[in-house]
Amino acid sequence: MTFQEPMTALNPVFTIERQLTDGMMLHKGIGQKEAISRALAFLQSARIPEPERRLRQYPHELSGGMRQRVVIAMAMACEPKLPIADEPTTAIDLTIQAEILALINRLKRKNGMAVLFITHDMAVVAQMADRVVVMYQGRIVETGTVQQIFENPRENYTKTLLAAVPKLGEMTGKPAPELVRLIGDEAAWAAQRAAKTAAHPRKPEVLPEVKNLTTRFPVKGGILRRTVTQVHAVKDVSFKLNVGETLALVGESGCGKSSCGRSILRLIEPTSGEVWIGGRDIGALNHHDLRRARADMQMVFQDPFASLNPYRRLKAQVAESIQNIGLATGAELDARVPQLSERVRLPRDFMNRFPHELSGGQRQRVAIARVLAVNPKLSVADEAVSALDVSVQAQVLNLMMELQADLGLSYLFISHDMAVVEQVAHQVGVMYLGRIVEVGPRAAVFDTPSHPYTRTLLSAVPVARPTRRRFGNALNFKPISSPIFPLGHKPAPSIYTKVGPGHYVLQA
């Protein structure tokens, strides 16, 4: 089985080599040397950079996408007859997802195995499935061939699922984001269209402004654990974002998206560069001033369950952020938490529950409520909807866009889902190996991509049509360049060429 959450599926105290080879040695009856050789081959086929080094590492030393690829390699290592893949590509970017799906297809044909593929990504279903079972509240509501389900759905829930799937190209010719159109929620969609028509354009105001941001992590070695090399996670990143707009950062796993977002908020300390929010240089603030500045900048984390305390009721966790900033106390605080619950469309009594008593989508709404509690100007949403099914994802995206329109929030939206990005973003920045290689208005980047990596990303987007399968045969595994460099290495500065209004591409 390939489990959905790789960090809980991997043993934190064993190396990747130990966890990959144990199963092969036990079930295949092979020696350690051969098992290590096979493990290395599986890591290479899963497109993990520096596979020899990864074998010696522990799970916490890998990114989420790399951990997911290790879990997939573990499941396939013994060539099973029935692999059960539970959301195996949720945390993986598009290019690697395409190659993993092609790898599963190849192994399926080679070994004659059946695959039970559990997913909320309907585009992946269209690309992979022969038969489809649609479940709702523990019951099978519809089943049939993939063509029957996509071309002639019978049940309302199936129709709702398919209608909620963001489709690349839907926003062509539309200059601004729009709510996802949901069955049964046409009134909200029509109201938003009317409000946009009547709205007056807002005068552009920059928030935030990032200048030459660089973040490196030390790699220690030897008996004395001295720094021997450095991981260049973020290299010379610069961009501007207007108030009330969304900049989406897209790119493959390990490219530096999350490190960039966390560096902007100083959740990790950048090596150099400037971040200006509300007229303040965030990097120059002392501990006391930074604590007060956190009211202006908040983060929605990728995994809401991991970011919530399992031992505390939700109302206490939402109230905590208000108390930390000193915005309200006593009766005012008690009244504000239920208001926030309603703001994110949760019943008030849900705030008396613990995190495990809510679904993934409901926990994500609590995470958004906790962000809204301090009235921030900037919210960094790190893969905030990647683990949600398409109908709940659409509801959360609509909620975020409605809050942006009402409160003038600026979003840094980190994602690997290009169809979702097209739906919500005003600006798009494409990251590769720590650098922004292309940035510009969403329509320009999607309609006229100028960097080869951007074109590769867009070509890897799965299409929610069974008649247009892409990943059945082609395997094009390419080694990913390592972000690790020796001490003293100085990367070349990022120099861009202007290819259109506000549209820039990194020079080769």
Average pLDDT over residues 462-482: 66
Residue 397 has pLDDT above 60, yes or no: yes
* Phi, psi dihedral angles at 248 (to 5 degrees): -95, 130
- Structure confidence at residue 191 (pLDDT): 58
Nearest CA among 380, 378, 403, 412 for reference residue 293: 378
CA 508 centroid distance within chain: 27
Sign of the alpha-carbon dihedral angle for 166, 75, 301, 96: negative
- The confidence band for 197, taking pLDDT boundaries of 50, 70 and 90, is very low
- Structure confidence at residue 470 (pLDDT): 66
Dihedral angle, C-alpha 111, 112, 118, 120, nearest 10 °: 90
Residue 166 has pLDDT above 50, yes or no: yes
Average pLDDT over residues 375-382: 92
- Each residue's pLDDT tens digit, 292-340: 888 899 999 877 778 899 999 999 999 998 888 888 888 888 899 999 9
Q: CA angle, 398 as apex, 393 and 404 as ends, to 5°?
A: 130
Which residue bears the tokens 């949600």?
Answer: 388
Name all domains of the chain by residue range, CATH numbers in brackets: 6-163 (3.40.50.300), 208-460 (3.40.50.300)
Mean pLDDT over each residue of the chain, to the nearest integer: 86
Residue 50 has pLDDT above 80, yes or no: yes
Give 286-312 as a DSSP string.
-HHHHHHHGGGEEEE-S-HHHHS-TTS
CB neighbours of 431 closer than 8 A, spacing ≥ 6? 237, 249, 250, 251, 255, 256, 257, 260, 437
Average pLDDT over residues 346-350: 91
- Structure confidence at residue 182 (pLDDT): 67
- The confidence band for 475, taking pLDDT boundaries of 50, 70 and 90, is very low
- Structure confidence at residue 199 (pLDDT): 47
Residue 34 has pLDDT above 60, yes or no: yes
